[in-house]
Amino acid sequence: MSARITASVFTSHVPAIGVAMDLGKTELPGWVPLFAGYERAREWIREDPPDAVILVYNDHGNAFSLEMIPTFALGMAASYEPADEGWGPRPVPTVPGHPELAAHIASSVIQQDFDLTLVNEMTVDHGCTVPLSIMFGLPETWPCPVVPLAVNVVQYPVPSGRRCLALGQAIRRAVESFDEDLNVQVWGTGGMSHQLQGPRAGLINEKFDTMFLDRLVDDPVGLSEMPHVDYVREAGSEGIELVMWLIARGAMDDLDGGAAAREIHRHYHIPASNTAAGLLLLENP
């Protein structure tokens, strides 16, 4: 008996997507095509709901400030309140944690030589709550516990793609040695191409995003070699968030000698706010 990783989810976490849901505006013509692409994902997750989600995301100066920026911070808490990002916290449920699974992941992954920061108390911002809303809608309580893994993509230097993929592989080994029969998903969030400030604000690069999605599916190892400067040049300064998707990808069977991941659903929409919004679901065979 042990936990296993059954699937991975990759999605943008644009705050305006959460706001559109919170304010009941998803039926407005501008939003309809984006949300239409989420239907299949919500159906899929209802068919085989995870017992826990390891949610890889970045904090945007809310739980952490510029005073202290951990590279990889694992949430160990029993619950996480939505952060106040300046307009009050989102009206979504408290995010339940999974302290036992988190403690096991910490112990296993740190013994595999990754220096995680352990976080016993933090709030979670749109980076974490918007992906939950995309996949689960607006329930009264979130349907499963979450182990948040916050990655620094805010202040350089940020971790390399190679390091992120390897961390995913280490997380996989951790989950598979957890002594409980759990269906675990790993989610990678952020991206796709976007730049929110400076002379290139508004940058979107569909060609790059398509290449990124294709290679994430078929060539994750090659993609993990892509240097940061390519993300920033091609996908904008905030496009670097995409490096986090490699953590979730690294946790799939095929990165551990198993059969190829199966692509279940892909959705790409321009724009959500200033961002190219992407969604990809992969399942282990």
Return the closest-CA partner of residue 76 out of 144, 7, 145.
Answer: 145
Q: Single out the catalytic residue among 126, 228, 265, 269.
A: 126
Provide the CB-side half-sphere exposure for 75 (13 A, CA): 30
13 binds ligand DHB (CB under 6 A): yes
Q: How buried is residue 24: exposed, middle or buried, by Cβ count under 10 Å (0-12/13-18/19+)? A: exposed
For ligand DHB, the binding residue among 35, 83, 275, 280 (CB under 6 A) is 275
Q: How far is the CB of 58 from ligand DHB (least distance, A)?
A: 8
**DSSP single-letter state for residue 124:** B
The one catalytic residue among 194, 265, 267, 269: 194
Is 60 known to be catalytic?
A: no
Between 152 and 274, CB nearer to ligand DHB: 274
Q: Which residues, numbered 193-252, are part of the site for ligand DHB (CB under 6 A)? A: 194, 196, 238
267 carries an active-site annotation? no
Using CB under 6 A, pick the residue from 14, 105, 106, 240 that binds ligand DHB: 14
Give CA–CA dist 190/73, Å, rounded. Answer: 16
The smaller minimum CB distance to ligand DHB, of residues 168 and 190, is found at: 190
Question: Smaller CB distance to ligand DHB: residue 17 or 45?
Answer: 17
Beta-sheet strand order (sheet of 117-119): 117-119, 72-75, 146-151, 52-57, 183-189, 4-11, 275-283, 262-272
Instruction: Note whether 60 binds ligand DHB by CB under 6 A.
Output: yes
CB nearer to ligand DHB: pick between 3 and 158: 158
Shorter beta-carbon distance to ligand DHB: residue 20 or 261? 20
34 contributes a contact to ligand DHB by CB under 6 A:
no
The most distant pair of C-alpha atoms in the chain lies apart, rounded to whole Å, by 54
Q: Which of 3, 8, 11, 15 binds ligand DHB (CB under 6 A)?
A: 15
Number of residues engaging ligand DHB in binding (CB under 6 A): 12
* DSSP tag of 68: -
Nearest to 96 by CA among 32, 52, 158: 52
In the bound complex, what is the minimum distance in angstroms from residue 191's beta carbon to ligand DHB?
A: 7
Would you give the distance in Å from CA 2 to the centre of its chain? 24
Helix (H) or strand (E) holding 267: strand 262-272
Give me the residues that bind ligand DHB (CB under 6 A), please: 13-16, 60, 190, 194, 196, 238, 273-275
Q: Please identify every residue annotated as catalytic.
A: 126, 194
